[in-house]
Amino acid sequence: MGQSLFISDLHLCASRPHITAAFLDFLKDTASQAVALYVLGDLFEYWAGDDDIQDMHHLPIISAFKRLADSGVKLYLMHGNRDFLISSEFCDAAGMTLLPDPSIINLHGKTVLLSHGDDLCTDDVEYQKFRVQVRAAEWQEDFLKLPLQVRKDQIEAIRMRSEHEKSQKSMQIMDVNQAAVDHLLRVHHYPEMLIHGHTHRPHEHQIQLDGHKITRWVLGDWYEQGSYLSCNQFGCEAMSL
């Protein structure tokens, strides 16, 4: 039984080439030894649409995924709050399977719930309103009709505004709401584990809920260094590059 690896919040972009290089090394040296790799959202700093797959920054990443998939490693991708416009053209080119958020998987005999995690941050009311707006099919259809560069310019403006707004918010507001976590776990019948990202606060939490013991793993981001969760039949371990 091999390792299954989980990553999120890489925020890959041309302005951080050292992180992209570290990630490509991770795919070649570490993920190539795994049976499966799960990317739980925010692979890219932003994604303006699948018509951007020919971008010079994106091509090496897509090619590396495809080589990994062709070697037999199962690749899974979940939308994050930055790259929810990734669609079938990207997944086909990269050899990845797009998972809905949330998703239940069988991980080495354990029932595991996967999520990006942003919908658990319910105390951030303004963000949740924005999330509902941009996840709507009608909004996405209209947005993707715009020229690619116009989309990129608009996303950059939204990002700058978002960074300013985040600086005005408390850390508690931007973390998960425990009641939202408990509700998700109840809806999915008390999985043995919950794995998510988004908050950039890597940690292993032990939850006692309605007589059930559940482990909540929070994945780290890749702003400073690479990190991942490695799981096999004996358990999970948080790792750094």
pLDDT by residue (tens digit) across 223-238?
Answer: 988 999 999 999 999 9
* 1 — pLDDT class (breaks 50, 70, 90): low
Q: In what order do the strands lie in the sheet with 110-115?
A: 103-107, 110-115, 193-196, 212-218, 203-209
Model pLDDT, residue 148: 97
Model pLDDT, residue 161: 85
166 known ligand binder: yes
42 known ligand binder: yes
212 known ligand binder: no
Q: How far is CA 165 from CA 102, 135, 168, in A?
A: 27, 20, 5
Q: Are 151 and 48 in contact (CB under 8 A)?
A: yes
Give the domain extent around 158.
4-240
Rounded to two decimals, the pTM is: 0.96
| Overall average pLDDT of the 69-87 stretch | 97
Least confident of 88-102, 108-122, 168-182: 168-182
User: Do β-strands 193-196 and 212-218 pair in parallel, antiparallel, or remain unpaired?
Assistant: parallel
| Residue 79 clears pLDDT 90, i.e. is over it | yes
203 known ligand binder: no
110 known ligand binder: no
Number of domains in the chain: 1
Q: How confident is the model over 3-36, as pLDDT tens digits?
A: 999 999 999 999 999 999 999 999 999 999 999 9
CATH at 188: 3.60.21.10
HSE (CB half, 13 Å, CA atoms) of 147?
3
| Overall average pLDDT of the 74-97 stretch | 97
177 known ligand binder: no
Coil, strand or helix at 181: helix
* 166 — pLDDT class (breaks 50, 70, 90): confident
175 known ligand binder: no
18 known ligand binder: no
**Pairwise CA distance, residues 19 & 188, whole Å:** 35
